[in-house]
Every structure is written in C-alpha cells, then in structure tokens.
Chains A and B, each alone.
Chain A
Amino acid sequence: MPSVVCMVVDDTPALAVEGLTKRHGSGAGAVDALVGVDLTFARGTFTAIMGPSGSGKSTFLACVAGLERPTSGRVLLEGTDVTGWDETRRTRMRRDRIGFVFQDFSLIPYLTAQENVALPAKLAGRRAEKQAVQLALARVGLASRAEHLPSALSGGQQQRVAIARALVAQPAVMLADEPTGALDSATAREVLRLLRSAVDELGQTTVMVTHDPLAASYADKVVFLVDGRVAGKMAAPSVDAVAAQLAHLDQLVGAGR
C-alpha cells in the first residue's frame, strides 16, 4: 500500500518514452517504424494508441515491453531508464512490472486458466498466492472456470483469462495490443469494460493499441501515430470523433506517398 505522502509527492509517470526511434533493417531497405516519439503516461490513466496499418503501434509496444531494443531514445518505467538493460533484466521486468494482453490471447495451451494466471509468478520462482489468483479470475468473471484448459474456453473467456494474468501482479503498466481484434462486438465490449474497470477501480495504468473507434472511446485519451510519428492526441474521445480523425489520417498517409 502506498502511503498518503507517497501518493501526493510521487507524480512520476508510470511510463514515459523520449525520442523513441526504431529502425528495422539497414541501408536502402530500412524501415523507420518509429521516429522520435515522445509520450508520457500518467499513473492510473487509460490511453489508446491508434493509427493506420504499419504506423508503428505494435513496434511501440514491443519497445516499451523490451521485446525489441529501440534504435535510439529512452523508455522510462516508473522513472527508471530501462532502455539499456540486458535481455535477462528486460525479461524480468516484463514478468514482474508489465502486464501483457495480446490479440491472440497468448494463453499457454497446456495450462488451466488459474495456472495461466499464476504463470508469471511461477516463472519468477514465487509461489503464486492462490487467493490473488482466485481474486483476479473472479474479477474477470471466471472464478468457476479456474480448472479449465484454454481449449475449453470461448475466445472472450480466453481473453479475460489473459487480462486476469496481466492484472494479478499489479504491474506498473498493462499493455494491450488489439485485445478485442479477434472478438465479436458484444464480447469485445465486455473485455473493454473489464479494462476500464481495472483503470477506475485498481488505478491500473493501461496502454491499448486498437483499430476500433469504439474500443478507443473507452480510453481517457487517444494518441494517433502516422508513419512512426505522433500525429495528434484527443482527450475524452467519442466514437464519432475518433472515426473522423482516423479517416483524416488515412488521407494524410495517402498524400505522403
């Protein structure tokens, strides 16, 4: 539990990137996926990242999570520069400080729902607290499915297990890459409500990449990327406003080529 003093004084953002640049390949065939991106994500906020296909959204998440090493720039996780960390340290950071939700659910097929949720702790060599695991599953409405293997769960249920897994360790940030991309709209709404409630009730800082204006409307703020650059921001996004902005951005990309 953070003390009151701590909460007042400590306004370090949960996540910040400075001049983040990522170049894939080299020479004539090089692709600049990110070009000098500066962004700050305050604690307890829910940010959506949007942009045309190929604009660098997934690359951004990968760099933040330490899956890829940025070409230049810095990634600050709760004020700590993690950019230069070696593979092992970044892996530990991912396990202990970051919660991940992927489009393809990324559950381990031979582990039950509760074992999947307990996996990061298990990998860290900690005994996962049974209660915390149960609580996380209950939070996503799957307490009764704890013993099921992923193959016995629907897509929406699998994604909710993945969210429980991301939340259980109370990570500094939760990263979600098109978490509703593989779901129908009703199930997607359920998942989005869960993400929203994690932000509101647990103060979970969340960054979500999405193509869907509806999904983005659940966030506090939308950041638009085009060709690896920040092309705009929108607070309190509505579905219509986001859709209009996206259509505009698509024109920008077309004009740029």
Chain B
Amino acid sequence: MKALAVRSLRHRYPAAVATFIAALLGTAMMASFATLVESAFSAHEDDRELLIIMGGVVGGWSTVIVLFSIASTVGIVAEQRVREAGLLRTIGATPKQVRALIVYEAMVVTLFAAAAGVVVALAGGPALFDALQRGNLITSASSYDASLASPSMAAGVVVVVGTVAAWISSRRATRGAATFSLRQAEVPVRRLRWWRILLGALLIASGLASAIVTITVTGKATDAYAAMQTSGSASIVAGVGLAALAPWLLRVLATPLRPLLSGSGSGHLAVQNLTRRAGVLAGMLAPVIVFVSTAVGTLLMVGIDDRTLAAAGDPEGVGDTIAMINAVVIGMISLFSLIMVVNATVAVVVHRRPELDRLWRLGATARQLRTSVVLEAVVVAVLGIGLGLLGAMATAVPYSVVRHEGLVPNGQLWLPPFISAVAVIVTAGAAWGAQRRAAR
C-alpha cells in the first residue's frame, strides 16, 4: 500500500499540492510563533510576558486557523478519492488497505511540507523577534534563543492533525459495500457527523462566551490589553465554528437561491451543484468564512484600539508599536487564510474536470461551463462573506463597546466591504483560473 500511495501521489498532483501548500505555510507560521515562546524561557524577565503573549496568544489564534485549514484541505482531498476507493475495493483491496493508502498519502505530504515549513520558520522566527525588538517591545537584554525543538513540535502537530483528519475522512471512502461505493461514487448525500456539529457548536459558543467575557469582565479591567486578549480570538473561533458547519449551512442557505438562478443553463447547473453537492463545495465555503471573520474582526479591533488607546490609558506608552505589530501579524494570518481560499477553490474546481468534460460532450459550451463554475464560486463567496461578517461581530462589537464606541465602531467602516470585495474577487478569480485548466 505504501508503494501504491507514493505512485498515486504522482498522479494526483493538484490535490497533493493543495495539502502541501496548506501544511507548509501553516507550519511556517505556527513554528515562527513557537520560537518566540521558546525564546521566552531564556529571555530577560521584563520581556518574558510579552514573548509568551505574542507567541502563545497570537500564535494560538494562528494555530486554530492553521489546523482547521489543514484538516479542511485534507478532507477535500480525501473526499475526492471516494470513487477511486470504490474501484480499489472492487479489485480486492480491503477497507483497511484503502484507508491506509489515504492516510499514508496525507502523512507523507504533510511530513515533507512541515519539514519545509520548519526551514521557513528558522528565518521567520528571528525576523519576528527582531521586529519586536526594534519596536522596543523587547529590551536588548534578551536575544532570540530557539533550538529546533519548538519548530519541530509545531511541525509534529501539523503532521498529526493532517494524518488524523485523513483517517477520519477516509472512513467515508470505505463505508458500505464495495460495489455500492463505486456506484455511489459521485454524490454522497449524507448528514454532518455528530462530532462535527458538536465541534462547530462548541466553537461558536466559545466565541460568544469570549465576547460576553470581554464586555462584562476584561473590558472593565485596568490593563488596557486584557480586553484584547479575550476579544481577539472570538471572531476567529466563531468563524472556524461556522466553517465546521459549512456543508449544512451551504445546503440551507443556497436552497432559497434556486428559483433566482435556475433560469439559464449555467445557473441551473450551478445551483443544483451547490445544493446537492454541498458537501464538496463546503470545502470552498469554509476558508472564505474563516478569512472574512478573521480579517474583519481582528483588523477592526486593531483600528478601534488605535483610536481609543489614549483614552483607555496606555501606561507603558507602547500602543503604537503594539498596533503596528498587531497589524503585521494579523495581516499575516489574514493572508494565510486568503491563500487557503485560493487553495481550496482550485482543489475543488480542478477535480471537476471529468464532469465538465462530460457536460461539454453533452453540448454545454465552454462559455456555459465557465459561467457556471464562476457563478458557483460567487455564490459561495457571498454566503461566506455573510457568515464571516457574522463571526467578525464576535470580536468587533464587544471591543467597540468596551472602548466606548458603541455597537458600531467609529471608523474603518470601509473595511468590511473591502475585505468582502477581496473575498469575492479572489474566490471567483481562483475558480475562473482553475476551470480554465480543467476545461479544454
């Protein structure tokens, strides 16, 4: 099975690339933050807290996003193997062997990607440390001091999560009788698993809890940054929670669009695909939700902080640099989740090659196929934006309240439409580019 896994990887290049990119960038980001935490142990006493907050708290946020993105990407890829799994089983592979193939493949790809990510972090970690030091957030008494241990740990977590996600997703490929799964190959209409609903609900609840704690507890604390620590993660956690429910949300939200779109041939195809194959297209929806809720929520928070810090009392006079570092770090996290949008969109669309080819043989023009794929992407993006903005409120609203700006922040109101526009353009653009390669 191992040899087969390596061989099959070569044939499934685009899918492997998607996993590789997610694991590489994810490890690079997580491991860079991890080096800050490791450096904290030998750092000067005054700097220890900041390094731990920066590496642990902000690093923790990025960890949530990274791990979700990797699990999500691996899930898309495993989902795409259902047909092949059915085929392998009809020729005598046991379910266990098929699962081993899928799991081993994910492990090999994430292992190589994570190793490359560690190399990136060995440059990224010191750069981050240097930026903190030059911003006078860390005294010159401390120096970067991380071994391979912390990046390797981050890499290990990535590999484990990727492998476990593959193991969970692979069950789908091997459930039921072999011939059955071959015939059922295309559209498994299935409900969300209970643990996924539970996970989504818990994450959303914890996002809401952070929001409430921000208003009732940390917002009243004397430390101006206490509120930021509870509030910053709320939109990220809530966003990931919504994303975990993406297949269900997509089906429910896209169904009312049926009459609206099914007028033209391409719209008809798009809307049927959206509702009946929500499980597949949810792979595209999830990263859009995470991107929008993270970027809008945290960037609005930084903006509010910027405007109101003086009033809130900035004892150490480091507000400006914190805002700057925050913007850079959040920019990085947002960029990562934006890349995940492209990654997932391309993986989903490229896999539709046989189906697009089939439609073409039946008389769909290249233009109709293009319109249909892009239309789908736009609908996914718009729904993702709506849900993402909902998630973003978990951070922006409480933070705005505790900084006395009211329910709606006083500035930066261009940000939500701007991020939304970016989300639509990037999703539709990625789909357009991918179908160009997929169609003939």
Number of contacts between A and B (CB, 8 Å)? 76
Extra contacts, 5 of them, besides A98-B363, A109-B355, A110-B277 (Cβ < 8 A), are: A88-B367, A109-B186, A122-B265, A149-B189, A150-B187
* A106 and B365 contact, Cβ closer than 8 Å, known pairs A149-B187, A151-B183: no
**B362→A87 contact, CB < 8 A:** no
Q: Give Cα distance in the complex from A218 to B183, angstroms.
A: 28
Q: Is B57 among interface residues, defined by CB-CB distance under 8 A?
A: no
Residues of chain A within 8 A of B361, CB atoms compared: 65, 67, 94, 100, 102, 106
Q: Which of B186, B188, B365, B367 interacts with A150 by CB under 8 Å?
A: B186
Residues of chain A within 8 A of B368, CB atoms compared: 123
Residues of chain B within 8 A of A256, CB atoms compared: none
Q: Which of A65, A94, A108, A154 interacts with B355 by CB under 8 Å?
A: A108
Q: Give Cα distance in the complex from A111 to B265, angstroms.
A: 13
Q: Which of A87, A98, A149 interacts with B366 by CB under 8 Å?
A: A87
Q: Is A95 among interface residues, defined by CB-CB distance under 8 A?
A: yes
Mark contacts of A119-137 with chain B using CB atoms, 8 A cut-off: 1 yes-contact digit, 0 otherwise: 1101111000000000000
Q: Give Cα distance in the complex from A110 to B278, angstroms.
A: 10
Chain B: minimal CB distance from A172 (Å): 13
Q: Is A92 among interface residues, defined by CB-CB distance under 8 A?
A: yes
Q: Is A38 among interface residues, defined by CB-CB distance under 8 A?
A: no
In chain B between 268 and 284, which residues have their CB closer than 8 angstroms to a CB of chain A?
268-269, 272-273, 276-277
Mark contacts of A81-119 with chain B using CB atoms, 8 A cut-off: 1 yes-contact digit, 0 otherwise: 000000110011011101010100010111100010001
Q: Give Cα distance in the complex from A78 to B268, angstroms.
A: 31
**B187→A123 contact, CB < 8 A:** no
**B363→A96 contact, CB < 8 A:** yes
**B358→A91 contact, CB < 8 A:** no
Q: Is B184 among interface residues, defined by CB-CB distance under 8 A?
A: yes
Kindly state the interface size class of chain A when it binds its partner.
20 to 34
**A94→B362 contact, CB < 8 A:** yes
Q: Which of A92, A100, A122, A155 interacts with B183 by CB under 8 Å?
A: A155
Closest to B180 in A: A151
Q: Is B360 among interface residues, defined by CB-CB distance under 8 A?
A: yes
Q: Which of B264, B269, B277, B362 interacts with A95 by CB under 8 Å?
A: B362
**Which one of B184, B363, B364, B368 has the greatest number of beta carbons of chain A within 10 Å?**
B363
Residues of chain A within 8 A of B362, CB atoms compared: 94-95, 100, 106, 119-120, 123, 165
**Which one of A88, A120, A122, A150 has the greatest number of beta carbons of chain B within 10 Å?**
A122
Residues of chain A within 8 A of B358, CB atoms compared: 106, 108
**A151→B184 contact, CB < 8 A:** yes
Secondary structure type dominating chain B contacts: helix
Residues of B within 8 A of A (CB): 183-189, 264-265, 268-269, 272-273, 276-277, 355, 358-368
Q: Give Cα distance in the complex from A156 to B365, angstroms.
A: 28
Residues of chain B within 8 A of A91, CB atoms compared: 360, 363-366
Residues of chain B within 8 A of A165, CB atoms compared: 362
Residues of chain A within 8 A of B367, CB atoms compared: 88
Residues of chain A within 8 A of B189, CB atoms compared: 149, 151
**B268→A122 contact, CB < 8 A:** yes
Q: Which of A88, A124, A155 interacts with B265 by CB under 8 Å?
A: A124
Please name the 6 residue pairs, one residue from A and one from B, whose CB atoms are nearest each other, closest first.
Answer: A95-B363, A109-B186, A110-B276, A123-B265, A94-B363, A109-B187
Residues of A within 8 A of B (CB): 65, 67, 87-88, 91-92, 94-96, 98, 100, 102, 106, 108-111, 115, 119-120, 122-125, 149-151, 154-155, 165
Residues of chain A within 8 A of B183, CB atoms compared: 151, 154-155
**A123→B364 contact, CB < 8 A:** yes
Residues of chain A within 8 A of B276, CB atoms compared: 110-111, 149
Q: Give Cα distance in the complex from A24 to B366, angstroms.
A: 23
Closest to A149 in B: B187
Closest to A119 in B: B362
Closest to B367 in A: A88
What are 20 of the A-B contact pairs (CB < 8 Å)?
Answer: A65-B361, A88-B365, A88-B367, A91-B365, A92-B363, A95-B362, A96-B363, A100-B361, A108-B358, A109-B187, A110-B186, A110-B187, A110-B272, A122-B268, A123-B359, A123-B365, A124-B363, A151-B183, A151-B188, A151-B189
Q: Give Cα distance in the complex from A95 to B364, angstroms.
A: 7
Chain B: minimal CB distance from A178 (Å): 15
Q: Give Cα distance in the complex from A94 to B272, angstroms.
A: 23
Residues of chain B within 8 A of A94, CB atoms compared: 361-363
**Which one of A96, A98, A106 has the greatest number of beta carbons of chain B within 10 Å?**
A106
Q: Give Cα distance in the complex from A109 to B279, angstroms.
A: 13
Q: Give Cα distance in the complex from A88 to B367, angstroms.
A: 9
